[in-house]
Structure 1
């Protein structure tokens, strides 16, 4: 498959307030990211040092992506922070349906018009709506975005109109800082 990428990358630990993060991450090389179907959140399948996984890549705000590597995946793949790891990735055939946050699900349930349009959107559109909502840094902003989502959907809008899912123009999204 031409969308498959193989590369080596360093496994980083994110800077955290308590210094005890159990997860790690990898920054994708731009060439690998360019083979993906979109600059926003994208689900891939692949291997880390030969161990299979499926995960959703996050945008880094620089038109590339980063991969969160859980403690469980690190242990299963036999890798540790600081290691240079071998990755092979490719986009999944069909983007999985995103998990709907409970506050959004409640708001959609209370607004039948919005819920009807929500169900008529594409999986990628729902991923973008959810990403826009969950990328809010403050609870007040998140609540406003949920209200705006329901209003826009009820008006028949199937795509979030005010969100750059790559973070490139708004700089709202980026990879974690690393130690």
Structure 2
């Protein structure tokens, strides 16, 4: 699949989350299925594009319905002249190379403590590392997250390059969903 095959143009309503518990999530849009289907994967996917003509790069999140949603920061909305409730115009395409995922501090510490796990980690693909990080950061409880960090290092030390039993789309496990939109 070439990068041009992933290109989509669409319009979408800018929503605010119904539960503003996450200070980082100010606004979001739901991608139309047609746009999401052109992307190379149903899990986290990095894209470049434009909102109302303003360039941006972001990582789309899986919505658990084999599609994606996009978090929009307040500075991006302001620069694009978009407000909550507006219909914004987008064009997106998948990046040619997924950027390296940001390594959470707890996973970084655990990998530093295991040379074998660290060696396998660095020998895997960027997509595999993205899935490992997504699996760990998607834990809802601190206890679960700590167990996943430990399990990840054990699996990597055993030579496993991909996190097993993890559906990065959330479709089969229903682990992920887009935020619920607030009523206007």
Q: TM-score range with shorter-chain normalisation?
A: over 0.9
The question of 1:112 aligning with 2:115 is answered yes
Q: Is the 1:13–1:21 Cα contact (8 Å) retained in structure 2?
A: no
Aligned to 1:97: 100
RMSD: 1.4
Q: 2:155 aligns with which of 152, 158, 167?
A: 152
Runs (5+) with no aligned partner, structure 2: none
Q: What's the CA shift for 1:2?
A: 2.4
**TM-score of the aligned structures, taking structure 1 as reference length:** 0.97
Q: What's the CA shift for 1:22?
A: 6.1
1:34-59 Cα offsets, whole Å, 9 max, x none, are: 00000000000000000000000000
The question of 1:43 aligning with 2:46 is answered yes
Aligned to 2:30: 27
Runs (5+) with no aligned partner, structure 1: none
The question of 1:2 aligning with 2:33 is answered no
SS of structure 2 residue aligned to 1:25 = strand
The question of 1:177 aligning with 2:183 is answered no
SS of structure 1 residue aligned to 2:17 = coil
Aligned to 1:137: 140
**TM-score of the aligned structures, taking structure 2 as reference length:** 0.94
Q: What's the CA shift for 1:23?
A: 1.2
Paired residues, number: 179
Distance 1:33 1:99 in 2: 23
Structure 1 residues 24 and 118 mapped into 2: Cα distance closer, same or farther (>3 Å)?
A: same
Aligned to 2:170: 167
1:77-132 Cα offsets, whole Å, 9 max, x none, are: 11011000100000001100110000000000001100000000000000000000
Distance 1:117 1:21 in 2: 32
Q: What's the CA shift for 1:20?
A: 7.9
Structure 1 residues 21 and 156 mapped into 2: Cα distance closer, same or farther (>3 Å)?
A: closer
Q: Is the 2:24–2:73 Cα contact (8 Å) retained in structure 1?
A: no
